[in-house]
Copies of this chain bind each other. A is one copy, B any other.
Amino acid sequence: MEGEKTKATVRNKEKSKQRFLDAVGELLLAQGFSALKVNDIAATAGLDKKLIYKYFGGKDALIDEYIRSLDFWSNVKKENAPQEIADGGREFSKQMLLKQFDYINTNAEFRKIILWGLTESREPLKRVADEREAIGEELLIHITDPYFGKEAEMYRAVMALLISGNYYLNMYAGVNGKTFCGIDMTTTKGKEQIKKAMAIVVDLLYDHVTG
């Protein structure tokens, strides 16, 4: 195993705990969740694996704490409540999708967690999904549900498709293929096409219920 860190200079339990948590993140990014072995985590942290059992209780407890330490939605929460919504959430929806695209596209850790969440049932992974739902409900209940009225569920379903498509396409890019429906997800052009498409679909939906 490569990637061992220089030895801790000072003895500090909290710092060491953090080094283990960081090591989990580093390995997750570099090799995926199936590569999270106690020996490797300890080597990456530059500490003895015994401490993982001492400080966290075990490998799984450490991994769970790592996932819980992540906070993907805090920035979204801030932007949520305010803003003038005079258009039924049209612009907000579009910007949310575009921002989310960039976030997923540039945040490899987020992508790994989302993928992990499709693979394994684990309480902290469920929490990530639950939080996304809770935050989404804010927008949906207060802004788009009232606006779309009896078409509200249709709007929700389209958003579910766009967001989850967003997730998938960004996870897909570069693993076993580059193009999806001919769109090359590894290029800026391809990414712009997807973003443009999301905005168009939102506009069409709003125009649909307006007209």
Contact of A168 among B164, B194, B200 (CB under 8 A): B164
A10-18, A47-55, A115-123 - interface stretch:
A115-123
Q: Which residue of B has the minimal Cβ distance to A171? A: B118
Whether A119 touches B175, Cβ cut-off 8 Å, given contacts A168-B168, A194-B157, A194-B161, is: yes
Contact of A160 among B126, B129, B163, B180 (CB under 8 A): B180
A171 and B115 alpha carbons, distance in the complex (Å): 10
User: Is A102 on the interface with B (CB-CB < 8 A)?
Assistant: no
Interface contact B115-A179, CB-CB below 8 Å: no
Q: A35-67: contact bitstring with B at CB < 8 Å (1 yes, 0 no)?
A: 000000000000000000000000000000000
User: Is A23 on the interface with B (CB-CB < 8 A)?
Assistant: no
Interface contact B201-A183, CB-CB below 8 Å: no
For this chain, the copies found in one complex come to 2
* Number of chain A interface residues as a range: 35 or more
Q: Which residues of chain B come closer than 8 Å to A118, judged between CB atoms?
A: 115, 118, 168, 171-172, 175
Interface contact B193-A133, CB-CB below 8 Å: no
A136 and B177 alpha carbons, distance in the complex (Å): 14
Q: Would you call the interface of chain A mostly helix, strand, loop, or mixed?
A: helix
Q: Which residues of chain B come closer than 8 Å to A117, judged between CB atoms?
A: 172, 175-177
User: Is A150 on the interface with B (CB-CB < 8 A)?
Assistant: no
Best-surrounded residue of A121, A136, A161, A162 (most CB of chain B within 10 A): A161
Interface contact B176-A156, CB-CB below 8 Å: no
User: Is A3 on the interface with B (CB-CB < 8 A)?
Assistant: no
Interface contact A160-B165, CB-CB below 8 Å: yes
24 contacts between A and B (CB under 8 A): A34-B34, A115-B119, A117-B177, A118-B172, A119-B119, A119-B175, A120-B175, A122-B176, A128-B176, A129-B177, A133-B182, A136-B181, A154-B200, A157-B183, A160-B165, A160-B180, A161-B197, A161-B198, A163-B165, A164-B164, A164-B165, A168-B168, A201-B201, A201-B204
* 8 closest Cβ pairs, A-B complex: A165-B165, A157-B197, A161-B165, A129-B177, A164-B168, A160-B181, A126-B176, A168-B168
